[in-house]
Structure 1
């Protein structure tokens, strides 16, 4: 009798558990009408997304249907009545939510990773990768479960729409290699496969990875040969252009908001050794003040590109190995680098 009562109680709890649905309502319309299809490749080992709480009530986070391939295909078809010939693929690598207990309550946590490819001549070509690890606190999000579900839906939409406009990386990989695409692709990128760097100025990670410096820009040095900035090859300073990195005399430097920091390499890949303040300076730092004093663009860029600043590093600062993602160039922050990562 006792077993029957326990079974009924458990059944009631399972039935009563609430569900938070991830609704695929955001637009993924291809305005150029080049896309033919969108196919989801679910590579997650565990298909369950997880449970998070709202006001101490557990909510299971789920998609509208269990058949995700059909769900995503229908989502694409509904938004794209006029279609072209390009086949797009969205690889879902990780999607997890969970509760994190705090002193006073609980906050929600989201981990998400995905990538997009296009298919041509039975080969796959990388487009974009997205990864997020984010905490949701009660004070910032009145309804955590809805906020997380909306974030998941929005990021799925964003990566698909962005992929329509991105040039594919010209490294074909087979379907069998999709499960290990990061390693397969990175090994073929010139920045990893070449024995030396190509000197020059790189405005984004893609150009750095392919070792194709900007032909209109060059490193600017003082009389002592110290890097002081970048300039156009016609000698006019180009202070309003984004810079990812510069390479001088075969040495690569990552541009950060406060300095240039040498890019190093180990068995795990490329990285820089940096403090939190160097990567995420507070608005009242001297660099920001210098920027305001010299004009929003001119002063700030002049300050951040000065390589001598990287030599003046605070004695009491804590430095970390900060990885550089092989496919995106984004920082791979170590644990506890920042309390909240967005």
Structure 2
């Protein structure tokens, strides 16, 4: 009897393990009807997501089906009855959830990294990537595990929907190279392989491929100091977002308050800036003639003086702020802005 009792007891205990399912219910409808399919590429070494507690009870987070390839393909098909010709791919590189002990309870923590590609002529082209690191405190969420599961589903849906509108970097990657796509793509981008080309770059894609906007030129004063950007035909009474400008082979990143020189080290491109220069309070805008509403594209309509940008606030704290090689987004260092 004893030989039978203990296995049965263990079986009952194991079946009591609670699961929190990640249900793919958010819309991923392609309104332009250009998408043909969505294929999941799961590059995770450990397929287990992890366990998070709700009211001191552990819940294991799982997708609603173990056949993830079919789950994602069916999700796409259900949302896209009318399909186009472009094959989309979602890469999940990491997805982990766990408890972090605190003084009075535990906080749920999520780490997630994804990327999207499209396939053309048997090669892959990068579209978007997303990296999430987020805490879910019980005091903020009545049901932490449900909120986290819903958050995972929403983040996946968001990157898929956003990818339909992305043009992508014009750097082909083979299927065998997808596991190391960030390093491979950055090494093949023109911006990393040669000198900067003078001109105005409206977005990061054009900067990465070193294709300046032909409709925009740098505006200078008689002394040769950069004062902003104008249209090549001389009309500059409009506002347009600008990522960077290159003058005499030197690249400058546009921030809401100034132009800051782009530097490079072993880790890639970066700028040295304060929190106020990246995310300025309303009353610290230094762009002459630019309102808060127009600050995003204010470089075009406003006057910016590089020499003034070099006169930095003495009481500010400056950081090495990386520029992501694939997206151009800021890579903020730990503790960024805490001294403000």
- 1:189 and 2:189 matched: yes
In the alignment, structure 1 segments of 5+ residues that lack a partner are none
State the match for 1:250 in structure 2: 249
**Deviations along 1:129-166, whole A, 9 cap, x unmatched?**
22222233344433332222222111211222222222
SS of corresponding position for 2:327: coil
State the match for 1:203 in structure 2: 202
| Structure-2 separation of matches of 1:12 and 1:316 | 63
| Structure-2 separation of matches of 1:163 and 1:17 | 37
What is the total number of aligned residue pairs between the two structures?
A: 336
| Structure-1 separation of matches of 2:257 and 2:137 | 30
| Structure-2 separation of matches of 1:167 and 1:75 | 23
* Normalised TM-score (structure 2): 0.87
Deviation of 1:49 after TM superposition, in Å, equals 1.3
SS of corresponding position for 1:182: helix
| Structure-2 separation of matches of 1:75 and 1:299 | 36
- 1:270 and 2:269 matched: yes
Q: Is the 8 A contact 1:287 1:300 kept in 2?
A: no
State the match for 1:141 in structure 2: 141
State the match for 1:226 in structure 2: 225
CA RMSD, Structure 1 to Structure 2 (Å) = 3.1
Deviation of 1:96 after TM superposition, in Å, equals 1.6
**Deviations along 1:86-118, whole A, 9 cap, x unmatched?**
222111111122233344443332222111112
Deviation of 1:273 after TM superposition, in Å, equals 1.6
Change (3 A) 1:260 1:98: farther
Change (3 A) 1:34 1:53: same
**Deviations along 1:43-87, whole A, 9 cap, x unmatched?**
011111122233333222211111111111111121222323322
Q: Is the 8 A contact 2:251 2:262 kept in 1?
A: yes
State the match for 2:88 in structure 1: 88
| Structure-2 separation of matches of 1:253 and 1:137 | 40
Q: Is the 8 A contact 1:325 1:332 kept in 2?
A: yes
Deviation of 1:11 after TM superposition, in Å, equals 6.5
Within-5 A mapping of 1:234-245: 234-238=233-237, 240-245=239-244
| Structure-1 separation of matches of 2:292 and 2:81 | 48
Change (3 A) 1:130 1:300: closer
SS of corresponding position for 1:28: coil
Change (3 A) 1:298 1:79: closer
- 1:42 and 2:42 matched: yes
Moved more, 297-306 or 59-68: 297-306
**Deviations along 1:273-326, whole A, 9 cap, x unmatched?**
22222222234x42189777x573279826794423431223333322221111
Change (3 A) 1:101 1:262: farther
